[in-house]
Amino acid sequence: MVLLRQLIVIGLACGCNAFAPSPIQSTATSSRLYMSTEEKQKTGKKEGYVPKWKKKATLAEITGTAELSPEEKGLVGAVPITFQQGTGEDATLIKTSAMPGQPLKLVASQAGQYIKYGCGKGECGTCDSLCNGKYLRPCVDVVPTDLTPDPETGEYANLVIQVKGTKAKVVSSGKFFSVKSFFMGFWNNLLGMGGFVRDRRKAKKN
């Protein structure tokens, strides 16, 4: 019984030491607290942050063909299409042209418009896009074939397809410790000490 009490006291002491922040961590925290506003604006990211990957340039950016018109890229079609991603000043517009009945997935791929797909069968709704007040799914839908050209000019009206914006999922790093982890660690230590006492008693009997 005395041995069990001593083990419990040791476990509590270890848990308290783990709960207290280390001197290195407190020093780093204090240095971040006293960082000037100008330094924060210059860095724009947390101190010591190293990205796991860097965004690579696309083929259009490497070859310098990103600013070419659809005709210069070789994309020929009777229906002018504009892919819009985002709203307001942050919206990006990609203009292209296609033929009636052409798959929208192929049109977006040729124009360089990224669309996030899910099932690819038009069931999940991941790629839902808004076109002239109606929702469509580019993974299975095609350029409308019931469009009527202007009787005077013979040209089709511009189709604006609003694509969902995509953002990188940011996962914040967890804390070094928490109240729950402290109690769970103490409970695991207590179970380990109980098993140790039980094995010692069995060994003495033998």
- Give the Cα separation of 147 and 108 in Å (integer): 19
Tell me the C-alpha to C-alpha distance, in Å, between residue 172 and each of 46, 169, 175. 12, 10, 9
For residue 163, list its beta bridge partners: 85
Question: Each residue of 22-50: pLDDT tens digit?
Answer: 444 444 444 444 445 455 445 455 677 77
For residue 19, list its beta bridge partners: none
Contact 159, 83 (CB under 8 A): no
Stated pTM of the model: 0.49
Contact 182, 14 (CB under 8 A): no
Q: How confident is the prediction along the chain (206 residues), in pLDDT tens digits per residue? A: 555 566 566 666 555 554 444 444 444 444 444 445 455 445 455 677 777 777 777 766 777 766 766 666 666 788 889 999 888 887 888 888 888 899 999 998 888 888 989 998 888 989 999 988 889 999 999 998 888 888 888 888 888 999 988 765 555 555 556 778 878 888 888 888 888 888 888 888 76
- Give the Cα separation of 200 and 33 in Å (integer): 51
- 134-136 and 79-85 as β-strands: parallel, antiparallel, unpaired? unpaired
Instruction: Give the distance from CA 105 to its chain's centroid.
Output: 22
> In the 8-state DSSP scheme, what is residue 142?
B
Where are any strands of DSSP class E within the chain?
Answer: 79-85, 92-98, 129-131, 134-136, 159-163
Give the pLDDT of residue 2. Answer: 55
Question: Each residue of 79-88: pLDDT tens digit?
Answer: 889 999 888 8
- Give the Cα separation of 126 and 117 in Å (integer): 6
